[in-house]
Chain A
Amino acid sequence: MDRAGKLSTAAETKWSVGEVLNRPWFWPFVALGLILIVDGIVSPGFFSIRINQGRLFGSLIDVLYRGTPTILVALGMSVVIGTKGIDLSVGAVVAIVGAVMTNLIHRDFSPVSVLFLTLGAGVLCGLWNGLLVAFLDIQPIIATLILMVAGRGIALLIDEGLIVTFRSDFFSAISTGEFFTVPSRILVCIGSFIILWLFLRRTALGLYIESVGANASAADLAGVNAKLAKIGAYALSGLCSGIAGLLICADIRGSDSNNAGLFMELDAILAVVIGGGSMAGGRFYLGLTVVGVLIIQGLTTSILVSGLPAQFTMIVKGAVVLIVLLLQSSRLRSMVFGAFRGRRG
């Protein structure tokens, strides 16, 4: 017991190297840093940011800009994974939301009501998933697979099987415009992040979600409302996919139900895992999930600028993801760094 007391004073005064290596944020940041450095070497102008026609330009901005929809979807995914669940339907929700939005615009709804109804459609999709998981006790992977499969069908029904386009200055401004030189979708993303964080961490919902994900029976005996935690998580995921769908739809100025958000769930899951989230649930890290997306997006950009043939993109991506995940494995680390830490102890 005394020994534990002494250890604590050591930990308080300075972070030892071993401590830092075990912090969840350490390896994702190292990976992102390395990828950015490689980017800088491969393309010399990578870090330069200039203002062109009243708008920020540069590769870094580009990484952020392209990554925005995935960041939003991945944030929702990280919350769901925190409950020990998974949401496969996010890509389909993106398509549904796009179809709903296009349809409403064609029915001459005011932009603000389109905005709210569209996001409402996203939340509704999330609630559906949540009901299946929390009340009917369907395994999350199956429950959300239902909407993943049916969702594109629903979107096609709304579109009547066509690619429908529209013009809307309001939504173009939100998605592709800029605000004080900053691309507005980046601001939308930052805003969503802050609201989500406040909602999860300034209420007890985040704590409930993590308790239920880490040990469902202990959470139950402590009185935690597991149904609320699960429904809340899926609804938030639906909202996040809704915002992403809105940005994507406004970007292409139309609804492409067959392709909008296709395979997005895979990048989102990957980003959560790269950001240190465990598929076993129990903890979610919103900030690190963003870092996870930036790693994937930075990687894609560096492969493009390096001039590697496009067919290598997937292979390199896979290899880098594997390396990042191996770095995060505490077991592998203790094998590699074991000798080093042995000297400390």
Chain B
Amino acid sequence: MSEPSTPRVELKGISKSFPGVRALDAVDFRVEAGEIHALLGENGAGKSTLIKVMTGALLRDSGTMLLDGTPVELTSPADGPKLGISTVYQEVNLVPTLSVVKNLTLERQPMRHGFISWKRANERARERLARLSLDIDIERPLASYSVAIQQLVAIARALEDDTRLLVLDEPTASLDAREVELLFGILRELKSRGISIIFITHFIDQVYRIADRITVLRNGRLVGTAPTAELPRLKLVSMMVGRELGAMGVRPTTSSVVETGEPILAIEGMGRRRYMGVFDLKLRAGEVVGLAGLLGSGRTETCKLVFGAVHADSGHVRFEGKPISIRSPRQAIRLGLGFCPEDRKAEGLIPELSVRENIILAMQVKRGWWNRVPFEEQERVAGEMIKAMGIVTPDADKPVGQLSGGNQQKVILARWLASKSRILILDEPTRGIDVGAHAEIVALIRRLCGEGMALLVASSEFDEIVAMSDRVEVLRDRHKVGEIAGADITRENIIHTIAAS
């Protein structure tokens, strides 16, 4: 189907800059007629920007775009649909409380004598759904249907009679296996009608099941395009994470290799439907366990399940050998767990509160609300932490929202150290932190481990994982796919484990 005829879309030398960032750098991209084309890349690769340039949501700085051989110039998001380019963005922009009909006619209502003609609206909605062979009660609110159906309604809304190119941004993110099959069936059906589909996803397995060709972007540059059949998984993963195999991250000789001993925390068969596949995990004192995987592989999900921030629907947990169940963060904290979330601003910091109050918060929670940490002790603990962690702040009473990213991360770490946590879960501890602070935090993690703490560190940077971990749990597509320990922990091995099918 990909004979050298006129491609459906051809982008040449597309560049796009935002203040301080080169989001796309001379990217070439080509989608044939009637193919399913997977667009892959890690965070900041430029996938979304490329899509937005293609659909008219963003203006490109330079480069040309051909649609079926004709040069086109898209200047607004409304231009895409006019040219037969339909997009379903990641955040489904439907209104869950409205009926399916209303959602399908949100931006264009059929009018009759100045009023909406609901009869014609219903007809149109049924036609649209029929294109996807979807037969549902269109009067019911959208929210009463499963996520999969909602996703299909979103696609039905985007699809027009003259759609030539359908762009799907992570359509399967919250679907279960059966629902993914349903969606894929529909995609194959659309493909057979000659519609080209661009499919953005983090799920490698799905790429190999549905895509004809794959394009990988990294840091705003094109890494390469290849037919799926000619691109082994290993090659694909290396393309995504960068650097050829063999150029491995340097692994410092880790002194503490604790292979024996009773784990503080032993988890068996923990998981949650639609969220994270079942996994086992053991954490021992004085050990750093790394969670490695690509974007969307389930790193954050694993952290949240272990900490009780999201309820697991299966699994057994033993803490120091005793069976327990962790139902809430509060319970986890009482046991001695601490969690530094990936999204510091939304889930970590309490921006209005001072550095001091943010540091003593978990310590206070452990003591109970009635037993307030005396002010002098708060000042002392905060002062010690500011010193020990090298937090740069004019004083302990500064609202924490006004500190820099690295210092904010240190404040959250300090919160758990002050509360004498024994198990620390760190999700992307160095994201959004400048280089200097980055090294400091990595050194700090090693130091805490040396002091007998157990750490679970999730990171998208394989080099960081290699540098820190005593053991690495490898994740792919929201499943644990392997474990690497000791001297075997190399960048190459992690990539091999992710790519193994």
Residues of A within 8 A of B (CB): 1, 4-5, 7-8, 11-12, 202-205, 207-208, 210-211, 214-215, 217-225, 228, 282-283
Contacts and interface: CB of A to CB of B under 8 A. Distances in A.
Given A217-B347, A221-B348, A4 B362 contact: no
A218 B392 contact: no
A282 B350 CA distance: 9
B365 A223 contact: yes
B330 interface: yes
Contacts of A203: 369-370, 372
A215 B341 contact: no
B364 A210 contact: no
B352 interface: yes
B47 interface: no
B346 A218 contact: yes
Nearest to A2: B392
A228 B307 CA distance: 21
Contacts of B366: 223
B369 A208 contact: yes
Nearest to B368: A204
B19 interface: no
Contact of B348 (A207, A214, A218): A218
A223 B329 contact: yes
A1 B415 CA distance: 21
Interface string B334-353: 10000101000011111111
A210 B369 contact: no
Contacts of B352: 210, 214, 282-283
A4 B353 CA distance: 19
Given A203-B369, A223-B362, A8 B395 contact: yes
A13 to B, nearest CB: 12
Contacts of A210: 350, 352-353, 357
Nearest to B334: A223
B361 interface: yes
Contact of A202 (B362, B372, B415): B372
Interface in B12-52: none
Given A214-B351, A228-B369, A204 B364 contact: yes
7 contacts: A7-B394, A204-B369, A204-B370, A215-B349, A221-B329, A222-B350, A225-B369
B347 A11 contact: no
B369 A221 contact: no
Contacts of B330: 223-225
Interface of B: 307, 309, 329-330, 332-334, 339, 341, 346-353, 357, 361-362, 364-373, 392-395, 415
Nearest to A209: B369
Contact of B393 (A4, A12, A220): A4
Contacts of A207: 353, 357, 361, 364, 372
B333 A215 contact: no
B355 to A, nearest CB: 12
A222 B365 contact: yes
A205 B365 contact: no
Nearest to A224: B365
Given A1-B392, A214-B350, A220 B309 contact: yes
Given A11-B395, A223-B330, A218 B372 contact: no
A223 B416 CA distance: 11
Contacts of A5: 392, 394
A211 B309 contact: no
B223 to A, nearest CB: 36
Given A202-B372, A222-B329, A222-B361, A4 B350 contact: no
B364 A221 contact: no
Contacts of B351: 214-215
Contacts of B392: 1, 4-5
A34 B364 CA distance: 41
Contacts of B348: 218, 221
Nearest to B339: A221
Contacts of A8: 393-395
A16 to B, nearest CB: 12
Nearest to A11: B394
A215 B333 CA distance: 18
Given A5-B394, A204-B367, 14 more contacts: A207-B361, A207-B364, A207-B372, A210-B352, A211-B357, A211-B361, A214-B352, A215-B350, A218-B346, A218-B347, A222-B350, A222-B365, A225-B369, A282-B353
A1 B367 CA distance: 34
Nearest to B373: A204
B309 A221 contact: yes
B333 A223 contact: yes
A201 B218 CA distance: 51
B494 to A, nearest CB: 28
A167 B195 CA distance: 86
B485 to A, nearest CB: 30
A58 B125 CA distance: 74
Nearest to A8: B394
Contacts of B367: 204
B212 to A, nearest CB: 41
Contacts of B373: 204
Nearest to B369: A204
B300 to A, nearest CB: 12
Contacts of A202: 372
Contacts of B394: 4-5, 7-8, 11
Contacts of A223: 329-330, 332-334, 361-362, 365-366
A228 B392 CA distance: 34
Contacts of B309: 220-221
B397 to A, nearest CB: 10
B426 to A, nearest CB: 13
Given A203-B372, A214-B353, A228-B369, A221 B361 contact: no
Contacts of A4: 392-394
A223 B334 CA distance: 9
A228 B309 CA distance: 18
| Most B Cβ at <10 Å: residue of A222, A228, A283 | A222
